[in-house]
Chains A and B, each alone.
Chain A
């Protein structure tokens, strides 16, 4: 029983981390129907930049974090302007491939500026683990979960009530109609990418303060895809709920199935979930089904 609660809580905690990254993906999808396959690398780059600011340049956190946010805004603007603006009306393969190209490029930039592949951020949260019943959870995870929920609430409110948020949803739905209404579509794309990069940066900073900065951030980004697929590509609620679900599946599946199957089952669970979701309910738990007409 002690095992179960431990696995339960650590699964939930890790799942909230996935959910946070998934939010960044949903932001881009909700605004422009572009799949951001460079998500993991953007998280990586933001984490390294944070390292650069906090450790290499020695800025205090109060000064360093706003700089990181500015950097994320700049990064989002740059990506959208340079790589995505010229491809506005192209088929989806081109868009996906361009994000793959961006992913490659960012990996190269990271290796270029910080050639040593592993490092640690200064600890942002207190270290002592918290006891919940018989389970032990690192306090950092609880902070991450809390911040994710705050981000989720903020994003949902923005998209529902704020003018820009509504405009973004309209753009994702039908670009032509939005242009006919006089809303500058290019500005909307720009803003949504900047947003997404800020969310990704936030996620990256939180995760790397727990586990250090490694290429694992890219793999966590891949697992965020499974969260997004399960929850629905355009739903924040889906991301927040599917995140812990995937985390739980990994944790409990890994904990209980491993003795019967092979070691390492934990790693494959998110991907098996993707395949299952694709076969049963392709649009995810909360996603909107796209109705296609000729």
Chain B
């Protein structure tokens, strides 16, 4: 990373550190304090938005590992989140198992299903893999809809998450749970990125034939990437199920999968900060559009009927296209440029 001038790293640990300078540490601890005291002054609506952001973040980080680090195109992420959500729902509702068991099983189930649908990645890549994952999502959703134990089309009620007897009823308790797990997953992703595993994945992404020549076991690493990405999706799904309380497959559409891809691209592929920025940006944009803009436009009655309704997808599509054309490396890249400019000011040009 770029450090302020004058700082040198004397040991390997220093060089590899995530938070290097005192400024880094102060800002980071400050941010954590602000984050974990949010429930004190946010209403339940904004807490709900924050919870949604947290859940999306976990899934997006997983997807980033799969697409950003390993280069395996997967447009079926919502399906894997669904697997996690329903596993957790079925285990806690139908079998009465505790929430933590449901959470872990959700992750593993989703990871295994991801492994199964990731097998074609050994033979195909690029667009072919993308279509396979789209097909995977449709198959997963179809199976969930037609299997009696999951409640099928009618849906399944999910009891409150409870850890060791303490029932997480309020939005703020769920906030702590979700944010805690989100922080853990980001830390996990960052560490993957800086270790041997991450470097192997990046090698696979950049040129998988060359990587195989160098001795990286393609099959193992691609499967591992799928497993990790879908494991995190499963965890996110489980948290989502317990947060919403009633699960139907309507939450897991192809449009959601596309939105996830948009999030990580807009945020910045292949970086740890990228998913955070992308998720926050897109979810906040969604909220602003749904809650502020659309009723405002409809209320004015000046504009034709379809204006407000069409504006949301149009705006999203436009945002995706503009970001890809103008800033394909995403917001994380912009952030790095900003940091560099800040450091070099007044000589930043």
Contacts and interface: CB of A to CB of B under 8 A. Distances in A.
Q: Do chains A and B touch in the complex (CB under 8 A)?
A: yes
Contact of B320 (A104, A225, A279): A104
A226 to B, nearest CB: 7
B135 A294 contact: no
A174 interface: no
Contacts of A268: 138-139, 142
Given A108-B311, A264-B142, A90 B262 contact: no
Interface residues of A, number: 49
Chain A binding surface SS class: helix
Contacts of B319: 101
Given A35-B127, A87-B325, A294-B210, A267 B142 contact: yes
A106 interface: yes
A115 interface: yes
B306 A112 contact: yes
Contacts, number: 151
B324 interface: yes
Interface in A114-163: 114-115
Contact of A282 (B124, B213, B316): B124
Given A282-B120, A294-B210, A86 B312 contact: no
Given A87-B324, A271-B138, A92 B310 contact: no
Contacts of B261: 97, 100
Contacts of A260: none
Interface residues of B, number: 53
Contacts of A90: 324, 328
9 contacts: A93-B73, A98-B325, A103-B258, A104-B255, A112-B310, A225-B131, A229-B128, A282-B120, A294-B210
Given A100-B258, A108-B311, A275-B135, 15 more contacts: A82-B321, A98-B325, A100-B320, A104-B255, A104-B316, A108-B314, A108-B315, A109-B310, A115-B306, A225-B131, A268-B142, A271-B134, A271-B135, A274-B135, A278-B123
Interface of A: 35, 37, 82-83, 86-87, 90, 92-94, 96-98, 100-115, 222, 225-226, 229, 233, 262-264, 267-268, 271-272, 274-275, 278-279, 282, 292-294
